[in-house]
Amino acid sequence: MMRLADIGEDALVSRLLAQLPEAPAELLVGPGDDCAVVPFSVSEWQLLKTDAIVEGVHFLPGENRRRVGWKAIARVVSDFAAMGGRPRWFLITVGIPADAAIAPLEELYQGMAHCLQAYGAALVGGETTRVPSQSGLFVSIAATGIVEKSHLLLRSTARRGDMVFVTGRLGGSLAGRHLDIQPRLAEAHWLASRGFATAMMDLSDGMAQDLPRLARASGLGFSVDTNALPCHEGASVAQALRDGEDYELLFTCDPALAEQLLPEWREVFPDTPLTSIGRMVDMAESMHLSGGWDHFAPLSAP
Amino acid sequence: MMRLADIGEDALVSRLLAQLPEAPAELLVGPGDDCAVVPFSVSEWQLLKTDAIVEGVHFLPGENRRRVGWKAIARVVSDFAAMGGRPRWFLITVGIPADAAIAPLEELYQGMAHCLQAYGAALVGGETTRVPSQSGLFVSIAATGIVEKSHLLLRSTARRGDMVFVTGRLGGSLAGRHLDIQPRLAEAHWLASRGFATAMMDLSDGMAQDLPRLARASGLGFSVDTNALPCHEGASVAQALRDGEDYELLFTCDPALAEQLLPEWREVFPDTPLTSIGRMVDMAESMHLSGGWDHFAPLSAP
């Protein structure tokens, strides 16, 4: 019998989506990008996103619950940023064993409230549900966002010859940084509104997983200098490729604009590194990266 | 240390919501009704809803996964119906142990797809995530719906003296009926567009839990003849009050309109029973009901 650990997350998602009927025509972007994109107003698209974190998988049972709450919201804010949009309405579903203590749950909500306020979003609903006592807590976030039609950035629109850029530094997030994510909302909005990016996504599962996804969505390959990857202090290139949970922006840019991008960026975001790491090439010429976070890979994997 | 089982679901939700800042003014309805209601277009509101089902709580591990998938979607369709609206876009988050088999997951998605098609909705995204191996599967549904502004029905708008009606039959759902819900979308749309209902909700946690919620939201009490409750064959009045998972409509109606409602209903929905069970009264004169489904009540409770 085939099990999830045998095939990995991307193959699983493909098999599940194959069970569904064809998407309706008014749906601009369905499963496969950071968010779904559906009609909203004459000048805007609505972005829809869900994301879950699970005790024992995305955070440890003893972890500070305010930080866990912040992370749960911030991950979704990062997805809206990656599309060139901004977050708006959030709904929170929490699955809790009946014998769970209440105080840590209140702390979880305090952390979520803090992050919602920081990024101009609001909680409008959700629910609590019981899970069996041997199960871990789960927090499932659903949210709507909004994006100007002219600002929308997808994974699928990179062009051959585009340069590949990444913001911030990568690797070593699991030492604790993954709980204190600062989504690149301002940077992403600037890139989208200035027209610098041809395609964009956020780095959640590690460069080695996420860059191939962007390339595949665009029908292209990539050639990157892994030694050029901007690593966090103490993190190796291997960690920058595989650790995940960086929540930095990965985007492509027409080389003709790159000369203009870099000096303007340094002026507007002097504290956020921006690094050119390579180029988009034909699929047949693509290099391959290994590592990165697959939710269903055997736990002994690197 | 205070634990969830000590205080129950409604008190928990109140405590968690107290951690959040005040809701923004443009939010028409926040936590507390069947759905959140947010701005959409000149003539329509958008409805937002999340709902989760958990293995070992809402369905048994060996249960037919197509029926589980149908139920997961149908519960949310029922919530949109209860607001006078219709379902539109769905996102599905599934938490799965890494050693889970793939075929039952495909069946789950087949059941969800079947229900989405039946009610004119579409899946646009979601994600899969790993849960620890001792945890049960969870399915968290997030969805948007749409409602004509003139059709919106809340829990909070019942008036003193209104008659209380319920559709269909109640009780005994746990024998298996809870997996084959047929949300009352057509009936709800008719009630909302004809202006018969003053307040409405769907019965998910049992009459004894849900009617007091509608009354409380409206600042009123209720007086019902429990012997008038329309019970499913083989179900007792006590079961009709406490079993939950009926997914019938509970609504209030101005007595001046009730004489018109009943004959019209019988003509349009000859196969759906409609029963008058009582009246809305002042809070101080309210009767009390016991029973119903509380997610965090001790498992030994009736």
Q: Given this model, what pLDDT does residue B298 score? A: 44
Q: Across all residues in chain A, what is the average pLDDT?
A: 91
Q: Does residue A297 register a pLDDT over 60?
A: no
Do residues A273 and A240 touch, judged by C-beta distance below 8 A?
A: no
Q: What is each CA distance from A39 to A44, A91, A189, B88, in whole angstroms?
A: 8, 20, 20, 11
Round to the nearest angstrom and report the end-to-end CA distance of chain A.
25
Q: Kindly report which listed range (A174-178, A229-233, B117-121) carries the lowest average pLDDT score.
A: A174-178
Do residues B196 and B257 touch, judged by C-beta distance below 8 A?
A: yes
CB atoms within 10 A of CB B232: 18
Q: Given this model, what pLDDT does residue B292 score? A: 62
For residue A100, give the nearest of A74, A137, A67 by alpha carbon: A137
CATH superfamily, with its number, for domain B163-285: PurM-like C-terminal domain (3.90.650.10)
A118 vs B contacts (CB less than 8 Å): none
Predicted confidence (pLDDT) per residue in A253-292, tens digit: 999 999 999 999 999 999 999 999 999 999 999 999 886 6
Q: For chain B, which ranges sit under pLDDT 50?
A: 298-302
Taking each helix axis from N to C end, the angle separating A185-194 and A65-82, rounded to the nearest 10 degrees, works out to 0
Do residues B13 and A128 touch, judged by C-beta distance below 8 A?
A: yes
Does any CB of chain A come closer than 8 Å to the CB of residue B28?
no
Task: Write down the architecture of domain B22-151 according to CATH.
Answer: 2-Layer Sandwich (3.30)
Asked if A50 and B93 come within 8 Å (Cβ–Cβ), the reply is yes
Tokens of A141: 């976030």
B46 vs A contacts (CB less than 8 Å): 144
* DSSP letter for each residue of chain B: --BHHHH-HHHHHHHHHTTSPPPPTT-SB-BTBSSEEEE-SSSEEEEEEEEEEEBTTTB-TTS-HHHHHHHHHHHHHHHHHHTT-EEEEEEEEEEEETT-BSHHHHHHHHHHHHHHHHTT-EEEEEEEEEE-TTSPPEEEEEEEEEEEGGG---STT--TT-EEEEES-BS-GGGTGGGG----HHHHHHHHHHT-EEEEEE-SS-HHHHHHHHHHHTT-EEEE-GGGS-BPTT--HHHHHH------EEEEE-HHHHHHHHHHHHHH-TTS-EEEEEEEE-GGG---------TTS-TT--
Question: Residue B108 belongs to what H/E stretch?
Answer: helix B103-118
Q: Does residue A121 register a pLDDT over 90?
A: yes
Q: Does residue A55 register a pLDDT over 50?
A: yes
Average pLDDT over every residue of A229-252: 94
Does any CB of chain A come closer than 8 Å to the CB of residue B54?
yes
A21-151 is classed CATH 3.40.605.10:
no
Q: Given this model, what pLDDT does residue B302 score? A: 33
Does any CB of chain A come closer than 8 Å to the CB of residue B126?
yes
Domains B22-151 and B163-285 share a fold: no
Distance from CA of A60 to the nearest CA of B (A): 12
d(CA B196, CA B262): 10
Search chain B and give the residue with CA nearest A295. B130
Confidence class for position A111, pLDDT limits 50, 70, 90: very high
Do residues B187 and B249 touch, judged by C-beta distance below 8 A?
A: yes
CB atoms within 10 A of CB A265: 20
Q: Given this model, what pLDDT does residue A215 score? A: 97
Q: In chain B, where are the structural domains located?
A: 22-151, 163-285
Q: Does residue A25 register a pLDDT over 60?
A: yes
d(CA B169, CA B155): 21
Q: Given this model, what pLDDT does residue A100 score? A: 87
Q: Given this model, what pLDDT does residue B301 score? A: 35
For residue A188, give the nearest of A53, A84, A62, A65 by alpha carbon: A84
Do residues B17 and A112 touch, judged by C-beta distance below 8 A?
A: no
Asked if B30 and A125 come within 8 Å (Cβ–Cβ), the reply is yes
Average pLDDT over every residue of A213-217: 95
Q: Does residue A300 register a pLDDT over 60?
A: no
- Comparing B19 with A88, the larger pLDDT belongs to A88
Average pLDDT over every residue of A113-142: 92
Partner-chain residue, chosen from A31, A53, A93, that has the shortest CB–CB distance to B125: A31
Partner-chain residue, chosen from B35, B88, B112, that has the shortest CB–CB distance to A125: B35
> Rounded to the nearest 5°, which phi and psi values hold at A154?
-110, 170
Asked if A89 and B48 come within 8 Å (Cβ–Cβ), the reply is yes
Does any CB of chain B come closer than 8 Å to the CB of residue A283?
no
Does any CB of chain B come closer than 8 Å to the CB of residue A95?
yes
Q: Does residue A139 register a pLDDT over 70?
A: yes
Which residue in the block uniquely carries the two structure tokens 């990008």? A33
Distance from CA of A285 to the nearest CA of B (A): 30
